[in-house]
Chains A and B, each alone.
Chain A
Amino acid sequence: MSARVRLTVNGEAVERDVEARRALSDFLREDLGLTGTHVGCEHGVCGACTVLVDGWSARACLLLAAQCEGAAVTTIEGLTPAAGLSPLQEAFRACHGLQCGFCTPGMIVVAHELLEGNPAPSEAEIREAIGGNLCMCTGYVTIVRAVALAARGRRAGG
């Protein structure tokens, strides 16, 4: 059983026939080739597949592509400038806020969402924001530092 779905992905209009059971994560990765969205558990716990749906973070493994009719989806590719890195991505690099890099896109999506709504998060607020995303490499310490650095940079940069 398939359905026609129309949505916006990283600002571009997309129209596709999808199987009703097609997860948004598979749709993004396999149908659209946006492999920056990673799949770590497929049951909504690890957060690796986190994307923005209409500006709010969501787990692409727990959404069906067909549910996203009319939605605006933003993936890590949509948060990456055409040239270079965003200040948030640059902060992850500078602070060593990644090791294997598998959780990193999801971490950056939730950190982006946090900073959009809270320009001066406390450490506890940063930890709360990334608390639904698993990282098996860093112990989170440098990820927290990276988000804090990006927040300071945003404030300093106006």
Chain B
Amino acid sequence: MTPAGEPGGWVGRAYPLKEAARLVAGRGRFLDDLAPARLLHVAMLRSPHAHARIVALDVTAAAALPGVAAILTGAQAAALSKPIRPLIPTAVPIGDWCLAADRARFVGEPIVAVAAVDRATAEDAAEAIRVTWEVLPAAVDAEAGARGEGPLLYPELGSNVVWHDTLTYGDVDAAFAAADGVLRERFEMQRYASTPLETFGCIAAYDAGTDAYTFWSNDQRPGLTMSILAESLGVPQSRLRLTCPDIGGGFGNKRRPAWLLVCALLAKRTGRSVKFVEDRRESLTALMHAAGGVMEVALAYRADGTLLGLSVRDVTDEGKNLVSPTQHNLIKLGNIANGYRIPAIRYEAWSVLTNKCPTGANRGIGKPFMCFAIERSMALLARRLGLDPAELRLRNYVGVDEMPYRTPTGAEYDSGDYHATLRAALARFRYAERRREQVEGRGRGRLLGIGVATSVEPAGTNLASYEIITGRRAASGSAEAAMVRIEPDGRVRAAIGDPPSGQGYETVVAQIVADELGVAPDEVDVARGFDSATTPWLYLSGNYSNKFSVTDTGAVVGAARRVRDKLVRLAAHRLEADPVDLELRDGAVRVRGVPGRALTLGELARTAYADVLGLPPGEQPGLEARHAHQNPLARPMDAARRVPSQLVFANAAHCCLVEVDPGTGGVRILAYVVVHDCGRELNPLIVEGMVHGSTAHGIGAALLEEFRYDEHGQLLTSTFMDYLKPTALDVPDIDVGRLEHPSPVTPLGAKGVGEGGAIPGPAAVANAVEDALAPYGVTVRALPLTPETVWRWLAASRGA
């Protein structure tokens, strides 16, 4: 693909969100704002136990309540639908239906759904259902599961381990034998989530006349969901329609095909539209958590700090995740080297089921933990070697002259200057000066700490990486589809198969199309959300994996260029001009250098749609094009089991200054600098906002957020009063600087930016807190660093 033309130069401008006009006025259309006629509302009866068998279930009293239209039990759901297809086949097929039928496997797992005239009535009915439970021992310790100990979620599998393997790249034993030293550490990561402010929801309607279903949902991956719905309902995809309205944040969390299936079964039974919207407790308890776990790191190094080898043992706590286990593992493997040249790598991993909320995609998937383990290790190694932590990193980065660089595990770093990124961050942070201030502050008893962490940030997921797990390829690559159309009146319309959840695609797509067609972004209407009946889409379509910049852009550019080429052919024919003399500018196709010889898009559209005898010979009527783009970096697994699980790498460096209150253990962030390089910035306003927001997620994970389970598998943090999110009083004024090394493999040179801050953020804050507590000899091995945790360290140190 040739570089994008820039008639208006709209791409790259800080163009305010087109979406803002409706959203600041409260005129967005979110899922719960939709209310089809005769709508029924669903409440779910959920398991209060982490692991229990349903001995008896009595819905008689509930069904008799006025206003209750239908009750669906897990057993009925199993009779009326097929199990949800797992991405990873288990050793023995497991039936995982939309409601639990015989046994609940985590607190909050739904076993019955009630549809009633309003939500309150449905909740009353759910409360009236009588369940006799046989409580079973719960598997809550993933490490025990990895050792083959503890209760089994699925006795027929004989183990809670979904996958265990050791992957070796390079001569790891030789690297460790040649090393001057080996740093060994053990890190833990808590479960947390990005918790979009709008909870997950869906509406289903059934048309008996055509045996067809219509869905509305804030599902951020509609392509995959369509296939799951069709398989589970036993209807072809041609009889399903899925529409995504405005989505109030996603971050990976916004998916649960099971709830769409529940509504579909109830809609078919009642003949009415059926809506389910999670309340916050349901969302925190049962939607999706980022996997927690344990990682043991061994880092072999030379005395000068050069890294020689890395060995990681990783136990991932999947919860009851039969749909997408091992996802965190594969993403960690693809990013295991971070930005460093590490010639030999070993990764031994366990993917372990536990009686906890299912895990799944969450801003960065596995990379925040991987980065935490590596960047904490680098901080500890710097301390051990007496090196400045920034200097140790500079000695080990992949150099700009080595790009493109293939990591041992198969990822390809396409471009970027990691040294320059860190140096720019240090300068912006006034690193040397702040180190002096830290020394002075310590002299006055202040516990000041400086943390540095850096990361790579990939974009686009290559599903071919699942071949590492399954030994076969089902889906692969990273791709998206788009449509551009000039309406009969000359107005431009576009749509993509990727429903945004705050990323401003209506704006950025309009900027891209505007440049291609020589109009202004305000003259391009981009479809809100997604509609499977009108939007071009693929199985791979969706809002995930940072993929907009590396696949969606190609689809939009490709579709716009097809329309542009046709406009030029039409104009050349009508103006009797040579196509090479034509340009698209200010809403018209013009003969370069001849003022007045031009045809507006409206005039050309009239020819294309109405006065079709004016078309060039052989030219079809209409001005519409569809295009799908796949990222060229994706490739299959090779014989050495190397595969890029993700593609196109941005990078960032974070520096932060914290102060610990010795009285309360509270951590305050005094300064936070991010310098990042996401290639060409398509819209700097949106890019900066992404960096702020993802960094805030990192800060939340570092200091506040934890889904904490007790030994019985009870979730102790199921409201926003105990699962704490960062507020405006916790997040500092994040200062963002940028470098722009365009990607050579994306159509506009852009790279991913949505996850960047969330990846090194936890490590940066942890490194700073550890630095602040250096006088106390504390090593940070787990998060979050709550006041209680820090206070206990201080108290223990004082008591010692």
Contact = CB atoms under 8 A, between A and B. Distances in A.
Nearest to A129: B728
Interface stretch (B246-254, B406-414, B454-462, B632-640): B246-254
A138 to B, nearest CB: 5
Contact of A103 (B197, B199, B696, B731): B197
Contacts of B688: 96, 142
Interface in A97-142: 98-105, 108, 123, 126-128, 130-142
Given A101-B502, A102-B198, A123-B733, A37 B26 contact: yes
A143 interface: yes
B729 A136 contact: no
Given A40-B198, A41-B280, A101-B248, A139 B729 contact: no
Contacts of B685: 96
Interface in B18-33: 19-30, 32-33
Interface stretch (B329-337, B378-386, B608-616, B718-726): B718-726
Interface in A3-37: 19, 21, 29-30, 34-37
A69 interface: no
Given A48-B197, A123-B733, A139-B692, A98 B280 contact: no
| Highest count of chain B CB atoms <10 Å: which of A76, A135, A141 | A141
Nearest to A19: B120
Contacts of A136: 194-197, 249, 251, 693, 697, 725
Contact of B692 (A19, A34, A45, A138): A138
A94 B18 CA distance: 10
Contact of B16 (A34, A94, A138): A94
B279 interface: yes
B686 interface: yes
A54 interface: no
A24 B692 CA distance: 33
B27 A99 contact: no
A45 B30 CA distance: 20
A98 B728 contact: no
A93 B25 CA distance: 10
Nearest to A43: B719
A42 B198 CA distance: 11
Interface in B682-721: 685-686, 688-689, 692-697, 719-721
B478 interface: no
A85 B83 CA distance: 49
A134 B198 contact: no
Contacts of A108: 24
B737 to A, nearest CB: 14
Interface string B248-263: 1111000000000000
Given A80-B25, A96-B685, A142 B692 contact: yes
Contacts of A103: 197
A130 B25 CA distance: 18
A92 B24 contact: yes
A101 B28 contact: yes
B757 to A, nearest CB: 8
Interface residues of B, number: 57
Contacts of A80: 25-27
A39 interface: yes
A43 B721 contact: yes
A29 B163 CA distance: 47
B729 A128 contact: yes
B734 interface: yes
Quick one: which of A37, A46, A76, A101 has the most chain B CB within 10 A?
A101
A34 B32 CA distance: 12
Contacts of A85: 21, 24-25
**Secondary structure at chain A's binding surface: helix, strand, loop or mixed?**
loop
Contacts of B692: 138-142
A45 B283 CA distance: 15
A96 B686 contact: yes
A134 B197 contact: yes
Nearest to A76: B26
A29 B510 CA distance: 32
A135 B26 contact: no
B243 interface: no
A144 interface: yes
A148 to B, nearest CB: 11
B727 A75 contact: no
Contacts of A99: 249, 502-504, 689, 693
A138 B20 CA distance: 14
Given A43-B720, A99-B502, A134 B725 contact: yes
Given A80-B26, A96-B686, A141-B733, A38 B20 contact: no
B81 to A, nearest CB: 30
B225 interface: no
A127 B689 CA distance: 17
B509 to A, nearest CB: 16
A126 B120 CA distance: 37
A61 to B, nearest CB: 10
Given A38-B30, A127-B729, A139-B692, A100 B501 contact: yes
A57 interface: no
A102 B247 CA distance: 8
A36 B25 contact: yes
A87 B580 CA distance: 47
A137 B719 contact: no
A84 to B, nearest CB: 9
A42 B280 CA distance: 7
Contacts of A134: 197, 720, 725, 727
Given A46-B720, A96-B686, A134-B197, A144 B728 contact: yes
Contacts of B194: 136
A103 B696 CA distance: 16
B17 interface: yes
A96 B689 contact: yes
B126 to A, nearest CB: 16
Nearest to B27: A36
Which 8 pairs from chain A and chain B are nearest by CB? A36-B26, A101-B23, A102-B248, A100-B502, A139-B696, A99-B502, A76-B26, A139-B692
Interface of B: 16-17, 19-30, 32-33, 35, 120, 194-199, 246-251, 279-280, 501-504, 685-686, 688-689, 692-697, 719-721, 725, 727-729, 731, 733-734, 757
Given A29-B33, A38-B197, A136-B194, 16 more contacts: A29-B32, A34-B26, A36-B25, A42-B279, A43-B280, A43-B719, A100-B250, A102-B28, A104-B26, A108-B24, A131-B727, A140-B731, A141-B733, A141-B734, A142-B689, A144-B728
